[in-house]
């Protein structure tokens, strides 16, 4: 048991495959002499909230980096390490491999979330525990607000002109637009029983935790990585 009463300390799971295509080897690209994955591992361990921090990977180099920086390794089968493999597949394998109880909480930490702070993780866990006192929660993910209202999105039609993608919002004043957010590639808290029952992180009882923009750096393309390096070096 931990300071949150009946809820056992959570574990962290960092999914870090080696075969990323849009930006090859992105999970271990260097940043001031250390691979990106190392920063996330150290942040998770230093947060003090996890009983264990695991790295799931099929890649030997990534496994070695994970061990070097204090993580426990889950050897991921190659059949769930392809471009078409889903994160829920990786999660389900880890839960089975570790023989986790149904009531365990797992925090998925994305390996390029190097700007995320331990304080934000602790705050999100405390927020989740508080919510569980009064309502059912199956998952909670780090989210960001959109820089522009997504309901104002435009799409090019067959004639080459722009038109509202969601025409029902065309005449609506912006102050009446719904407040929307999006998962930002930082973390996701998952209740084992509930998430596996639905086989999705986007469960019926999903909550969001707003993460400051200066802690978000979803890296998919080379320009994302270049931007991160410039930001890190001031």
Structure tokens at 13: 């799971």
How far apart are the C-alpha atoms of 132 and 137, rounded to whole Å?
Answer: 6
Beta strands in the chain (DSSP E): 11-15, 30-31, 34-35, 52-57, 72-75, 105-109, 139-145, 154-156, 162-164, 181-191, 206-210
Indicate the average pLDDT of the chain.
95
Q: Please report the pLDDT score of residue 20 as a whole number.
A: 84
pLDDT tens digits for 173-191? 989 999 999 999 999 999 9
pLDDT tens digits for 92-132? 999 999 999 999 999 999 999 999 999 999 999 999 999 99
- Work out the pLDDT band at 83, boundaries 50, 70, 90: confident
Q: Which residues contact 130 (CB under 8 A, 6 or more apart)?
A: none
Torsion sign, CA atoms 206, 194, 43, 67: negative
Q: How many CB atoms lie within 10 A of CB 83?
A: 9
Q: Do 11 and 72 meet the contact criterion of CB atoms below 8 Å apart?
A: no
Q: Does 75 score more than 60 pLDDT? A: yes
Please give the average per-residue pLDDT across 48-53, as a whole number. 97
Q: Please report the pLDDT score of residue 62 as a whole number.
A: 98
């Amino acid at each position: 048991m931990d300071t949150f009463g009946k809820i056992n300390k959570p574990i962290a799971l960092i999914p870090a495959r080696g075969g990323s295509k849009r930006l090859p080897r992105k999970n271990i690209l260097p940043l001031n002499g250390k691979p990106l994955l190392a920063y996330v591992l150290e942040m998770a361990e230093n947060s003090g909230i996890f009983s264990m921090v695991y790295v799931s990977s099929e890649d030997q180099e990534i496994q070695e980096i994970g061990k070097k920086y204090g993580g426990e390794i889950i050897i991921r089968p190659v059949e769930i390490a392809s471009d078409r493999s889903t994160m829920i597949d990786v999660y389900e394998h880890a839960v089975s491999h570790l023989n986790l109880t149904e009531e365990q909480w797992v925090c998925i930490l994305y390996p390029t979330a190097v700007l995320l702070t331990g304080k934000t993780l602790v705050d999100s866990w405390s927020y989740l525990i508080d919510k569980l006192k009064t309502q059912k929660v199956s998952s909670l993910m780090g989210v960001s607000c959109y820089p522009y209202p997504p309901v104002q999105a435009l799409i090019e039609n067959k004639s080459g002109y722009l038109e509202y993608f969601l025409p029902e919002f065309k005449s609506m004043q912006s102050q009446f637009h719904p407040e929307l957010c999006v998962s930002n590639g930082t973390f996701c808290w998952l209740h084992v029983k509930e998430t596996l029952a639905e086989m999705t992180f986007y469960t019926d009882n999903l909550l969001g935790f707003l993460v400051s923009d200066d802690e978000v750096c979803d890296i998919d393309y080379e320009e994302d990585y270049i931007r991160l390096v410039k930001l890190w070096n001031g």
